[in-house]
Chains A and B, each alone.
Chain A
Amino acid sequence: MTTKNESVIEKYSKAGRILHNIHTVAFVILFLTGLILFIPQLAFLAQHDWTRMIHRVAAAIFILAPLTYFIVKPKAALHAVKQAFVWGKDDLGWLKAAPRYYFLSDEEGMPPQGEMNTGQKLWWFIVVVFSAVFIATGLVMLLLKNIAPPEVFQWMVFVHDVSFIVTGAMLFVHIYLGVIHPLMTEAWKAISTGVVSAEYAKSHHRLWYDEKVKKADEKGK
């Protein structure tokens, strides 16, 4: 019965939040130092090597942070990565109901959601897949610069850029939904303090909430 009476539930573990924040900072630095290559008018900033050095240091952090998490918390990491690839028909229902919900505050037709809702899962899927693409193409550019044929190198740049556009645009959506959207009242609280109110968990992540309550009940018996 504990969870029911407590007003807050843990949404993100401390290790998970630290990883999230380190990864975010690394990605934003990578994004900005990459952006100046994408905008010809800003490309002069890259003519001295320092932005490229910063890009490489941030890339190392971008790779090492999740690796470290995998070593320290293998179970949680595996569980998280798996979630990105589990999709069901409720996800379709969410996608159909989402526009009315996010624009018009209309919760009707919104299927109950698990720990991650479909939108969060979509973003998470993009993060997992495109991180791998970024790292693979980036490593080829960094390590095989003089070995790979020029065509291969250029297509790596191309794929790196496509990933940049997809993840960059979705990062705006992610930050917007987490910090600015009028209905996401506790998303920011969840990632900065780790907990959400039981009330918020119930209305935003019903399946996950029920599971938590059940587990707490079983423990209490």
Chain B
Amino acid sequence: MYPNASLYGEKELGGLHVMYVLNDTPDKYRLPVDPKFPATAIAWKDVIQPLGWAVGGLTILGLALNYIIAREAKMTKSLPGKKENK
């Protein structure tokens, strides 16, 4: 009776939490046949987010490391920031 009947929402985008029993193919219901995540959503979640944490974290770590080393070096070199008056 319904040769094209289909189940929509089971596999699309890894499962939609809602399933539709359709009498015909999804496109007849104006549903996207093969929906995809937008590239920007993937770029944001998998690139921008981790990149932001990595860059921010490494920067602060690097600055802290620099402070420890530079302070030590300055003390042993007797204020080179102020010397060299020629």
Q: Using A158-B44, A181-B70 as known contacts, say yes or no to A38 and B63 having CB atoms under 8 A apart.
A: no
Q: Using A105-B74, A203-B81 as known contacts, say yes or no to A158 and B52 having CB atoms under 8 A apart.
A: no
Q: In the assembly, what is the distance between CA of A164 and CA of B55, in Å?
A: 11
B40 touches A102 (CB 8 A): no
- With a cutoff of 8 Å between Cβ atoms, the chain A residues found around residue B85 in the complex are 199, 202
Q: In the assembly, what is the distance between CA of A155 and CA of B49, in Å?
A: 15
B31 within 8 A of A: no
Residues of chain B in range 36-62 having any CB-CB distance to chain A below 8 Å: 38, 40-41, 43-44, 48-49, 51-52, 55-56, 59-60
Residues of chain B in range 5-58 having any CB-CB distance to chain A below 8 Å: 38, 40-41, 43-44, 48-49, 51-52, 55-56
Q: Using A151-B38, A161-B52, A165-B48 as known contacts, say yes or no to A181 and B60 having CB atoms under 8 A apart.
A: no
A 186-203 to B, binary, CB cutoff 8 A, 1 in contact else 0: 000000000000011011
B74 touches A158 (CB 8 A): no
Q: Using A169-B55, A172-B63 as known contacts, say yes or no to A158 and B48 having CB atoms under 8 A apart.
A: yes
Q: In the assembly, what is the distance between CA of A162 and CA of B40, in Å?
A: 12
In the complex, which residue of chain A has the Cβ closest to the Cβ of B49?
A38
Q: In the assembly, what is the distance between CA of A106 and CA of B70, in Å?
A: 10
In the complex, which residue of chain B has the Cβ closest to the Cβ of A153?
B40
A165 touches B56 (CB 8 A): yes
Q: In the assembly, what is the distance between CA of A158 and CA of B38, in Å?
A: 12
Q: In the assembly, what is the distance between CA of A15 and CA of B49, in Å?
A: 38
- With a cutoff of 8 Å between Cβ atoms, the chain A residues found around residue B60 in the complex are 172
Report the minimal beta-carbon distance from B72 to chain A, rounded to whole angstroms.
Answer: 9
Interface bracket on A? 20 to 34
Report the minimal beta-carbon distance from B75 to chain A, rounded to whole angstroms.
Answer: 8
Report the minimal beta-carbon distance from A136 to chain B, rounded to whole angstroms.
Answer: 17
Q: In the assembly, what is the distance between CA of A38 and CA of B66, in Å?
A: 27
A157 within 8 A of B: yes
Contact of A102 among B49, B51, B66 (CB under 8 A): B66
Q: In the assembly, what is the distance between CA of A154 and CA of B43, in Å?
A: 10
Contact of A103 among B40, B70, B84 (CB under 8 A): B70
A182 within 8 A of B: yes
B1 within 8 A of A: no
Report the minimal beta-carbon distance from B59 to chain A, rounded to whole angstroms.
Answer: 4
Contact of B82 among A102, A158, A172, A185 (CB under 8 A): A185
Residues of chain A in range 134-183 having any CB-CB distance to chain B below 8 Å: 150-151, 154-155, 157-158, 161-162, 164-166, 168-170, 172-173, 176, 180-183
B67 touches A157 (CB 8 A): no
Q: Using A105-B74, A158-B43, A158-B48 as known contacts, say yes or no to A176 and B80 having CB atoms under 8 A apart.
A: no
What are 12 residue pairs bridging A and B, where the CB atoms are less than 8 Å apart in the complex? A103-B70, A103-B73, A154-B38, A154-B40, A158-B43, A169-B56, A173-B63, A181-B67, A182-B67, A182-B70, A183-B70, A199-B85
